[in-house]
Amino acid sequence: MEQRMSSEAWSCSEVFRQLRREMYGEQRATHSNIFIILGASGDLAKKKIYPTLWCLFRDGLLPDDTYFVGFARSDLTVEDIKTACVPHMKVTSAESACLSAFFQKNSYLRGNYDDGSSFNKLNAHLSSLPGGAEANRVFYMALPPSVYHSVSTNIGTHCMSCKGWNRVIVEKPFGHDLQSSQDLSAHLSSLFTENQIYRIDHYLGKEMVQNLMVLRFGNRIFGPIWNRNNVACVVLTFKEPFGTQGRGGYFDDFGIIRDVMQNHLLQMLCLVAMEKPASTSPDDVRNEKVKVLKCIAPVAVSDVVLGQYVGDPEGAGDSKLGYLDDPTVPEGSRTPTFAAAVLYVRNERWDGVPFILRCGKALNEQKAEVRLQFTDVPGDIFGKGCQRNELVMRVQPDEAIYLKIMTKRPGAYFSPEVTELDLTYKSRYKNVKLPDAYERLILDVFCGNQMHFVCSDELREAWKIFTPLLHQIDMEKLQPIPYTSGSRGPSEADELVRRAGFRYEGTYKWVRPSTA
């Protein structure tokens, strides 16, 4: 991408256009395009999908002649959808005409997900749109997993374009365990080819997650030290400061391991641990990720700490409420809202290095990051005054890369202290507006790029790692350890991390640089 001074503004439009020029050229589609939102009345559609499509439309990044069709069981109009979605859209007063043009390209149909005649009507409507009979079609299944089978069957049977391409976006969770995931994959494969299936994990669209490959393979300095000889441990963290917020009924069916650890954190682990791919083509990248997953043994319950948050009597607002206080959560539920696990990648590069995965709700802060802690400097001459170096990639909030190093303490001293080499995006790229993860990924779907989507092989190997643990938790009804809302999580998790080899010094905290 052409360099600019950091003081110049990059709009989302400029970022995307430059990205598309570099990756896909300037070719425009010869067919019309129709984006179908199945589950158009739901929260995901209202809060994410429609706002994402609006941003792409506003910036002129979608293919020409793109139309949008909502489908759900609710009795709605396009005006109803607009009313529900606009509060979640970024619309300025100068963009009102553009917003009207966007919704003029929208339509909505009511139908049942298990009714073939409803999908016949949907197909007739799609064909009636300008160029619709030959249009490319993207089907976004923003639906509960319980209807995946019937909806995908009806799409494949009734709604496929005969002349344009067809692509189906499937939201996680991709199954409940190995067997259910394989059943779903087999079902989808009976209807669509693998290059028509886009299993979306929005974390793969995050700026810093996508930056992991460039950081690793575009910098000479990291290659020689990115291995078991120099890395003491790798910590992958996902923390949310809020609880289930009334969505506990949905969360209780899956728990934190299925919801976060088995997908978001494991995907980041693969990008940290994989070997350099032959190229940046989707197949080459995903093949290397699968190799990593095949080297990870199923996680043992002895390497796991489970927790469930309870209310803080001295807290404010929702922090007073525990998980079991959510009226949508079944009474006495043992579903974990926190998990810490230690995994090992049994290959030549990483053998013996612990990969520590931590994730939870109702914790003390919002944070998602990858942290590599390096081994001690041999032959210490500073009287144990040096701490371990750490390379930290902050995914959210406030994207950053920083390297913790030892330097001489300023002034009339000769003692070392910790400081950092810091690349905070808001400081270095002050006026750059980073595209949302869903914007990147939906644009990838239109461009036919599957690099940042999950393939069936990845799913199978990922579920092999966690299914035995999940079955043991369910069968033995393991009791999660209570932890107070707003805390770091169970203290037992800190002990697990310490035993695994992570050294927490407790004397340094990253200070967010000023962006003024």
**Residues identified as active-site:** 264
CA angle 121, 127, 131 (to 5 degrees): 165
Helices vs strands, H then E, count in the chain: 17, 15
Return the exposure string of 1-16: e unless at least 16 CB atoms fall within 10 Å of the residue's CB, then b: eeeeeeeeebebbbbb
Q: What's the Cα-to-Cα distance from 90 to each of 49, 53, 73, 79, rounded to whole Å?
A: 13, 11, 27, 18
- Measure CA 160 to chain center: 28
Residue 14: in which H helix or E strand, if any? helix 12-24
Contact 181, 148 (CB under 8 A): no
Instruction: Tell me: cis bond preceding 241? Omega within 30 of 0 counts.
Output: no
Report the distance separating Cα 258 and Cα 260, nearest Å.
Answer: 6
Residue 130: Cβ within 10 Å count: 11
At residue 65, the 3 state secondary structure works out as coil
- Angle, CA of 354, 355 and 360, to the nearest 5°: 130
Please answer whether residues 202 and 441 qualify as being in contact, where contact means their C-beta atoms are separated by less than 8 angstroms: yes
Please, how many CA atoms are within 13 Å of residue 181, restricted to the half-sphere of its CB? 25
